[in-house]
Structure 1
């Protein structure tokens, strides 16, 4: 069976805002049907990169291809799902009404909405207003609204922020099941322990791609099974290299 085409391809990707360069010449490929982690400290450019991928951030330079088409193409609207940090749902509507509303934009049926609600474990709360849910449940409504269209690529901006450990574990299990079924997931986080759930990692810092590697390769390169410590080792090595280049010049 031939390999699936890449879900995301970036070449020389640069984004600037108000004369400040946010993304600095990124080159990477994200494989289809896998979970790729986008990891880095706050302010590293993760959200800007995701906005570029879903087509709502103008590129300053370079090329960005999503599912074989230029980022932002109209034909990608039904193939790419995006879950932002802030829940994009209507608090005064029920869970079911929210999901059916967003599903209607993609021609989804009532059965698709029920499937999406079940996928995030909200079946018992389908008739409750979103405003009456707990914080963790509320955030999962946004995920259901993205899933109802059956996107080929799902982009999630720090989806586990504010969730307790049990909910985080359940969410990662659902992500793994989706990837096994063929969905490509790009999941951002600044919590390095979550890197172990991913097949591949994009490590960002200050708008630059430090490395693209697997969790095992991160541990080996950073000389630690503690992935946070391994990431810090890579950051320090990059900083030392930059200082040496500045001195040499």
Structure 2
């Protein structure tokens, strides 16, 4: 099976600062993969690299079997950034219809995307009059309207209350069941339990790729945050910090 995303020897630097350092991983299609790590670990840079808007210093990324950034991927990849890309003076429906028009979406596609995020009752309301959680869901609907094969979400639950976060994760699970591949970044470790697979980043290094169950086992704790901290300590004490190659740290 062709991975939805495959990175080999991925490096990204800005000036003399190394942002991503030798990442190697593959993401299986039709699953939710969590991209987890503290602020500044390189999560957003990795997502931008996958979308094809980040210049790579070295290495390669393939998305749906094609090089990242290939023009033909524009209709297959949805990207929701931390800053919602929504026009505040337009209604929910008008926003989704506008973004859908770029992909040849129909009125039925617009209605389906709005229903997928639970905003059917607010289709006529201007985005400026929505709550923070509703506003974020409009951005998600704008990405869903094109029926992307890969949906990349940069910390979509930031600022949402626990009820809204739970609802959003239920919708992510439904999308994965329908065949969509999701890559969801977060710095909240409790959200790792909603994912099938996890990429753990710290300081631009991939510490591990594993399931939540494997994280708990390797980190010696059912508390996933404690488990992640254990892996960080384990990595800090590893030979990699005394000259062993970075690729061995992520293995």
- Class of the TM-score when normalised by the shorter of the 2 chains: over 0.9
- Does the C-alpha gap of structure 1 residues 244 and 145 become closer, same or farther in structure 2, counting only changes over 3 Å? closer
Q: Where does 1:1-249 land on structure 2 (aligned, <5 Å)?
A: 4-241=1-238, 245=242
Q: CA deviation at 1:243?
A: 7.8
- Detail structure 1 runs of 4+ shifted over 3 Å in the superposition: none
TM-score of the pair, normalised by structure 2 = 0.95
Aligned length, in residue pairs: 244
Stretches of structure 1 lacking an aligned partner (at least 5 in a row): none
Q: CA deviation at 1:241?
A: 1.6
Q: Let me know the Cα RMSD of the aligned residues.
A: 1.2
Q: CA deviation at 1:244?
A: 5.8
- Does the C-alpha gap of structure 1 residues 243 and 31 become closer, same or farther in structure 2, counting only changes over 3 Å? closer
Q: Distance in 1 between matches of 2:12 and 2:233?
A: 25
Q: Secondary structure at the match of 1:175?
A: helix
Q: Distance in 2 between matches of 1:244 and 1:27?
A: 19
